[in-house]
Amino acid sequence: MAAPGDAPCSGEAEPSAGGRGSSGVEVVLLSDPAVPAPLCPHGPTLLFVKVSQGKEEARRFYACSACRDRKDCNFFQWEDEKPSGARLTARESRNQRGRPPLSRMQCVERYLRFIQLPLTQRKFCQSCQRLLLPDDWGEHREHQLVGDVSVSQLRRPSQLLYPLENKKTNAQYLFADRTCQFLVGLVSTLGFRRVLCVGTPRLHELIGLTASGDKKSTLKSLLLDIDFRYSQFYMEDSFCHYNMFNHHFFDGKPALEVCRAFLQEDKGEGVIMVTDPPFGGLVEPLAVTFKKLIGMWKEGQSQDDSHQEMPIFWIFPYFFEARICQFFPSFCMLDYQVDYDNHALYKHGKTGRKQSPVRIFTNIPPNKIPLPTEEGYRFCPLCQRYVSLENQHCEHCNSCTSKDGRKWKHCFLCKKCVKPSWIHCSFCNRCAVAHHSCDGPKDGCFICGERDHKRSSCPNISTLRKASKAVRKQKQRKSNKMKMETTEGQSMNHPSVTGRRKRRERAHQYLCS
């Protein structure tokens, strides 16, 4: 999304945007359905409004739904603007150019030819992130190639492709094995037979691997993802190029029908949707999209089942609990900590923060979801759900209250449990971190989101510095190793922003989102 503020760099670009509500830009959900939104290469744009000090500015604007960095997509149009014919033509040709180089059918044909090749002729170009057919070799002679691509490598594309870590658009953080195995085990134990994987390529591939290894397993999955590179590895019925911020199928009706058929098979019985959106994404458009997918599933239901809800796992950081439950009141948050392989903080191990803030939100009753006791989770009979070992049942709140996995303490003045490091401040009349400024910023600290201190006194700053350093090092190593190209033209960095803003974005990425 681009928004008021940044300098324009080309055709559509004008004002600039930040991310979520904190930047003062909000998405307008109730836009007039009779007025179709203009299109960018990522499908229909969204209508945004700038909010300053709680007040909406009168002039609203359209910007890209998927890209929060204008370098990735700089579409901009005021709501009341009538673009000239020349501008519309330029836009149309930009949208055409933004399309993937190959159609979905071409990808399938290439894949079928590729798997027929003898092992010695199966090459993958790391520089272009493409599977090569013999006719392509000449063009890629100087590139970094992987040879002898085996069937098992083809079945694990997330290991062959490198993750698009562009924070603002893809934020492609891949599940650690522990988490991925847990999710596959869980959906099978719960008796599901089909998994709609929305932005979960690694889960999709693990389901495929499990299904092929175990003939009895009937678990199927369909991946919807904006990362077009995945279309090289899957047939039409198991991958759709999709934008989850506007429910846009890049390959039009045939792809939409693939999704519909998947959801409505067996009258919709046995389906679960598992989604892990980029953390910087806006909750509102995601909720709208998920409601559309739920609607599609519901159309396939018989009348007697009309009260049923489509089971969902929405994977997102715990501090979005209130926001998610606002849109989906039947959802609850599980204590399970989701881990990633390529995230400096959200993974187990030396460089990772042990306590990942990412959780699973679901409409499946939590007493039906066993969490692994060998990893320290235990069942609380009073709450009727599995909780982290440290999350103790508070007799005053009558609940296991910790959100972040640490032991929380009860404050009798606030009448609720609070983080262990907080103290009750008589001036603010509530619990807060020890060294907060009582007249702290209204909008809170942009590093951790708490309202009781500023950035400079944020207790998370040292974690942030460590993480940023780890990420910088990791990036440097990577960029020395290979120059990355992306299929959507997404960039890895954004030189248009100032150093200060960059730091702020990085901070936000690692601790708030």
Ligand X SMILES: C[S@@+](CC[C@H](N)C(=O)[O-])C[C@H]1O[C@@H](n2cnc3c(N)ncnc32)[C@H](O)[C@@H]1O
278 binds, among ligand X, Zn ion, none (CB under 5 to 8 A by kind): ligand X
Residue carrying structure tokens 């399309």: 99
Which residue, 1 or 244, is less far from ligand X as judged by CB? 244
> CB under 6 A: which stretch of 32-40, 181-189, 195-203, 261-269 binds ligand X?
195-203
Which residue, 29 or 382, is less far from Zn ion as judged by CB? 382
Containing 313, the helix (H) or strand (E) segment is: strand 312-317
Going residue by residue from 36 to 75, which x/- string records binding to Zn ion, judged by CB under 5 A?
----x-x---------------------x--------x--
Which residue, 172 or 232, is less far from ligand X as judged by CB? 172
> CB under 5 A: which stretch of 14-22, 258-266, 400-408, 495-503 binds Zn ion?
400-408
136, 256, 469 from 248: Cα distances, Å: 31, 9, 37
* Residues in a beta bridge with 416: 411
**Residue 358 touching ligand X (CB under 6 A):** no
**Residue 28 touching Zn ion (CB under 5 A):** no
DSSP string, 339-398: -BSS-SSSSSSSSS-SS--EEEEESS-GGG-PPPGGGT-EEETTTTEEE-TT-PEETTTT
**Residue 397 touching Zn ion (CB under 5 A):** yes
- In Å, the largest CA–CA distance within the chain is 74
- Can you say whether residue 267 is alpha, beta or left, with left for phi > 0 and alpha for psi between -120 and 50 degrees? left
The contacts of residue 468 (CB under 8 Å, 6+ apart) are: 506, 507, 510
**Residue 276 touching ligand X (CB under 6 A):** yes
380 binds, among Zn ion, ligand X, none (CB under 5 to 8 A by kind): Zn ion
Question: What are the tokens at 170?
Answer: 């893809």
203 binds, among Zn ion, ligand X, none (CB under 5 to 8 A by kind): ligand X
CB of 44 to ligand X, least distance (A): 12
Residue carrying structure tokens 């199928």: 249
**Residue 512 touching ligand X (CB under 6 A):** no
Which residue, 143 or 323, is less far from Zn ion as judged by CB? 143
15, 35, 38, 145 from 58: Cα distances, Å: 15, 18, 19, 53
**Residue 199 touching ligand X (CB under 6 A):** yes
CB of 63 to Zn ion, least distance (A): 8
CB 25 within 8 A of CB 17: yes
CB 220 within 8 A of CB 194: yes
In 151-287 the beta strands, taken as DSSP E runs, fall at 194-198, 220-225, 239-243, 248-249, 271-275
Torsions phi, psi of 199, nearest 5? Answer: 70, 30
CB 338 within 8 A of CB 317: no
**Residue 12 touching ligand X (CB under 6 A):** no
Which of residues 298, 393, 454, 501 is near Zn ion by CB under 5 A?
393
DSSP string, 127-170: TTTEEE-GGGGGGGTTS-EE-S--HHHHT-HHHHSPP---TTTT
Pairing of strands 39-40, 43-44: antiparallel
> CB under 6 A: which stretch of 97-105, 129-137, 200-208, 317-325 binds ligand X?
200-208
**Residue 46 touching ligand X (CB under 6 A):** no
Which of residues 224, 380, 448, 511 is near Zn ion by CB under 5 A?
380
Q: How far apart are CA 12 and CA 33, in angstroms?
A: 23
Which of residues 131, 183, 203, 512 is near ligand X by CB under 6 A?
203
How would you class 418 by CB atoms within 10 Å of its CB: exposed for 0-12, middle for 13-18, buried for 19 or more?
A: middle
> CB under 5 A: which stretch of 211-219, 245-253, 412-420, 481-489 binds Zn ion?
412-420
225 binds, among ligand X, Zn ion, none (CB under 5 to 8 A by kind): ligand X
**Residue 338 touching Zn ion (CB under 5 A):** no
Going residue by residue from 210 to 229, which x/- string records binding to ligand X, judged by CB under 6 A?
---------------xxx--
Which of residues 29, 414, 434, 482 is near Zn ion by CB under 5 A?
414
Which of residues 128, 161, 187, 244 is near ligand X by CB under 6 A?
244
Q: How far apart are CA 66 and CA 69, in angstroms?
A: 9
CB of 229 to ligand X, least distance (A): 9
**Residue 425 touching Zn ion (CB under 5 A):** yes
Residues of this chain that bind ligand X (CB under 6 A): 66, 170-175, 199-203, 225-227, 242-245, 276-278
Using CB under 5 A, list all residues that contact Zn ion: 40, 42, 64, 73, 125, 127-128, 140, 143, 380, 382-383, 393-394, 396-397, 400, 410-411, 413-414, 417, 424-425, 427-428, 431, 438
